[in-house]
Amino acid sequence: MTGGDVPAPNSVTGPTVADLDRTRVVRVAPAHVAVIMDGNGRWAAARGLPRVAGHRAGAEAVRRCIRAAITRGVGCLTLYAFSSENWRRTPDEVADLTALLRYYLRHKVSELCREGVRIRVIGDLSRFDPDVRDEARRAEDLTAANTKLTLVLALSYGGRADIVQAAMRVAQAARSGAIEPGELDEALFSRFLLTADIPDPDLIIRTSGECRLSNFLLWQSAYAELIFIETLWPDFDERHFDAALETFARRERRFGARPAV
C-alpha cells in the first residue's frame, strides 16, 4: 500500500449498443469509471475454447476500454482485474491469470506510459509471486508523473478486506495518538482505505448480465451509478463504453437529497 500513516483525503438495467444515439455528445464525462470485467469464461466456452483464451480476449478488451476512457475525457478508470476470491479458482486457471498479468505488466506498461497513463495498483499483492509484485511497483514508479488517465488495477482486491485493513489502521493510529477516536468520521476513515488518493467512482459498469458488486469497492461505491450490461467482457468495446456514458449522463445524482422540482 502507498501513503503514510494518515493518507491524504479523498436502472440497474444497462444500455444496448442499439440504444446509443451517435449524434449526442456526453457533455461531462464521469471523473471516475470502474468496471467489473465479467464473462471471459463464458465467452470461451461458447466458442469451444479453453478459459485462458477468454482471458486473453479480455485483455484486448482492456486495451479498448483504456483507449475509450482517454478519448472520452475520463480522469480515472478502475478495473477489477483479479479479485480476492479469484484465488479459489483451479490452480491452472490462477496460473494462467497470473501469467497473463505478468506479461502485460512486463511488456505493455511502456506503451501506456507513452499514452500518458498513470498506473495505480490496489489489493493484497503479498499473495502474488515476488516478480509480479516487483512488476506492479515498477509500473507505478514508471508512470507516476503521467496525468492523462489514472488506471487503477484492483489485484487480489476485496472490498470487505479493504474496510477491515482500514479499521485496523485507524485503531493503530488512535493507539499511537495520531488521531483522536472522537474525530473519526467518514472522510477521515476514507483516508485509511487503499483508495485514499483516488476519488470515489461515479459510475460502475459490470458486463455479462450479472447484477451484483462481488465485493468490489463496497465503501467507495455508496453513491455510484450502477450499469449492468449483457455483453461479455471480451466483446466490450468503445460503443459499449459510450452507451454507458450516455446512460450515466441521463441519471440524476442526488446523493440522498430530494429531487429537483
Is 197 catalytic? The answer is no
pLDDT at 10: 40
Rg (CA), the chain: 19
Binding residue per annotation — 83? yes
Is 38 catalytic? The answer is yes
CA-CA distance, 10 to 3, in Å (whole number)?
Answer: 12
pLDDT at 22: 41
Nearest to 136 by CA among 157, 112, 120: 120
pLDDT at 252: 84
Q: How far is CA 30 from the centre of its chain?
A: 14
Binding residue per annotation — 107? no
Binding residue per annotation — 208? no
Catalytic residue, from 10, 19, 38, 200: name it.
Answer: 38
pLDDT at 3: 41
H helices within 128-222, ranges in order? Answer: 130-143, 159-176, 186-190
The CATH class, in words, for 17-250 is alpha beta
pLDDT at 18: 47
The grid cell for 13 is 438495467
CA-CA distance, 106 to 68, in Å (whole number)?
Answer: 23
pLDDT at 255: 72
pLDDT at 27: 55
pLDDT at 260: 57
Catalytic residue, from 10, 86, 146, 215: name it.
Answer: 86
Binding residue per annotation — 215? no
pLDDT per residue, tens digit, the chain (261 aa), is 444 455 544 434 444 444 444 434 445 789 999 999 999 999 999 999 999 999 999 999 999 999 999 999 999 999 999 999 999 999 999 999 999 999 999 999 999 999 999 999 999 999 999 999 999 999 999 999 999 999 999 999 999 999 999 999 999 999 999 999 999 999 999 999 999 999 999 999 999 999 999 999 999 999 999 999 999 999 999 999 999 999 999 998 877 666 655
Q: E-strand spans in the chain?
A: 32-36, 76-83, 117-122, 149-157, 203-206, 225-228
Domain ranges of the chain: 17-250
Q: Could you tell me if 149 and 66 are in contact, meaning their C-beta atoms sit under 8 angstroms apart?
A: yes
Binding residue per annotation — 43? yes
Angle between helices 91-107 and 51-71 (to 10 degrees): 40
